[in-house]
Amino acid sequence: MNSRCDCSNSGERLLNPILYNILSQMDKGGPSQDTFHHSSAPHRCNCEVRRTVCLVRPSEVCKEASAVLVKTVHFMRNLPAFKQLPPGDQYALLKSSWAPLFILGVAQEHVDFDVTDVPADSMLKKILLNRQESPETEREQPTMAGVSKLRGCLKKFWTLDLSPKEYAYLKGTTIFNPDVPELQAGLFVEGLQQEAQHALSEVVQLLHPGHQERFARILLTASMLQGITPSLITELFFRPVIGQANLLELLADMLFCRNP
């Protein structure tokens, strides 16, 4: 496997040298007298960590992703134990779990997608627009590194080929996370997570007798969910749909039926 960095090739660069150095100088606080001499600054690696990407088929994929997200919120709202929690705990658990639950939904529904590099002119527009906003509103753009991590996680779930019951109980272990800060009913949530894990273990043994390692593999794969940021999910799948709106607030409206 060739691990050589190819970002120095002209065809792989996201920005041309002049544009790259202008933006680099802007990041340092302003242009200098050498701003327009692209040889004055060394080339920086623009590999997966820096490559910003977008969906190839945004209208189709965003529609599928939105359907998964709606199902995710409905799943949470229809859990009797979840509805017994104080509203503040429900919101806290929603905030901490909506992204991993969405990824599980994408895996379960086998939503596939392709990405491509953001065109240089589009990237420049986003950067310039972000600079006109306050630092609090600047958004992290999806990168190839983040998408690769997401894809790797999805492939592992597809390899496991979980049943609907396995997905349901795994979602339960994800929702009821007692480590979320400032839960009023933390002990109750911990008990619910233990129940979900026990139920998952039982259904795995029932459906896959003789595969004692499967339960551990499922939990190990699920641990990868925490490495995928909600901002990646939001910007990649939902920003083209919701515009400037706050996705978490929209999810809370759905969860608490504020907009019936």
DSSP notation for 144-198 = HHHHHHHHHHHHHHHHHT--HHHHHHHHHHHH--TTSTT-TTHHHHHHHHHHHHH
Q: CA–CA separation, 69 vs 119, rounded Å?
A: 28
Q: CA–CA separation, 161 vs 119, rounded Å?
A: 36
Could you state, in chain order, the average pLDDT of each consecutive group of 10 residues for the chain (260 residues)?
Answer: 49 46 53 43 52 94 97 96 97 98 98 90 60 55 95 97 98 98 96 98 96 95 96 96 95 81
Residue reference for tokens 């992703």: 65
Q: What is the pLDDT of residue 102?
A: 98
Q: CA–CA separation, 58 vs 112, rounded Å?
A: 12
Please state the φ and ψ torsions of residue 113, each to the nearest 5 degrees.
Answer: -155, 155
Q: CA–CA separation, 1 vs 157, rounded Å?
A: 24
Q: Which CATH architecture has domain 50-256?
A: Orthogonal Bundle (1.10)
Residue reference for tokens 């040889």: 39
Q: What is the pLDDT of residue 34?
A: 45
Q: Nearest-CA neighbor of 7 among 35, 54, 42, 55?
A: 42
Q: Where are the domains of the chain?
A: 50-256
What six digits make up the tokens of 122?
Answer: 């589009």
Q: What is the pLDDT of residue 40?
A: 40
How far lies 158's CA from each of 13, 72, 88, 102, 228, in Å? Answer: 33, 18, 34, 15, 17
Q: What is the pLDDT of residue 33?
A: 46
Q: CA–CA separation, 145 vs 141, rounded Å?
A: 11
Q: What is the pLDDT of residue 121?
A: 61
Q: What is the pLDDT of residue 258?
A: 63
Q: What is the pLDDT of residue 139?
A: 75
Q: What is the pLDDT of residue 25?
A: 55
